[in-house]
Amino acid sequence: MKKSYRHKTPAQDAHVNDWLLTYADMITLLLCFFAVFLSVSVTKQDMLRVQQQSLNGWGATDYFGSSRTAGKQPVIAPASEMIGDRIIALKMSSRLFFAAGSATLTPQGKTILRKEAAILLSPQYNGYEITVEGHTDDTPIHTAEFPNNWVLSAARAGAVVSYFIRQGVNPQNLRAAGYADAFPVAPDRDANGKAIPANQAKNRRVVIKLQKIGSAE
């Protein structure tokens, strides 16, 4: 009895290994995804590490709190914060940069910003938009120079941006924004309307935010 053999047509042969092609495509896409994810994560980690190293000499221990080191050294927030997918933010107490009711940078503030400018000038951050935010507490201000906190916060943000420009940061990548007391990180007052000094100190801050150009917040 003769065995019969079925010969596959060329069309059938072409579809035998279709699943292998699909599997290979899926693996390739996964590898690309993880490669992109890793590159973004490394960039953020590098930025945080360099920023922390640049600020370590100021004896920061608490978040906008009291330093445990000798003297009355103002305190820098101990760590930067990452927000969203490709945004990095560094928050620091306003008293590091400005006297009460003033938008003139202190010598100490200039020293800090000089270090930050050196970081921003590194090639890996050429593709970032830099926004400087000024924030105040809810204590009213009414002077000839600053009729309200909106003007004060905007002037402080502008002072930081101007200093960055003098340090060589590309002005096309810089933005300044003043938010007064519109976005507190903690309540300025208790349920009875009494001021909470510790919280007000946290709310008086300068935020330097870096966002990859073209990314969504």
Angstrom CA distances, 40 to 10, 33, 81, 124, 197, stand at 46, 11, 15, 11, 38
Q: What is the pLDDT of residue 55?
A: 44
pLDDT at 26: 64
Identify the CATH assignment for 35-212 out of 3.40.50.80, 3.30.1330.60, 3.10.20.580, 2.60.40.10.
Answer: 3.30.1330.60
**Average pLDDT, consecutive stretches of 10 residues, N- to C-terminus, the chain (217 residues):** 53 56 63 52 51 43 34 41 64 92 95 92 88 96 96 97 97 96 95 95 94 68
Distance CA 48, CA 53 (A): 8
- Cβ neighbours of residue 6 closer than 8 Å, sequence gap 6 or more: none
State the pLDDT at residue 173. Answer: 94
64, 201 Cβ separation under 8 angstroms? yes
**Annotated domain spans of the chain:** 35-212
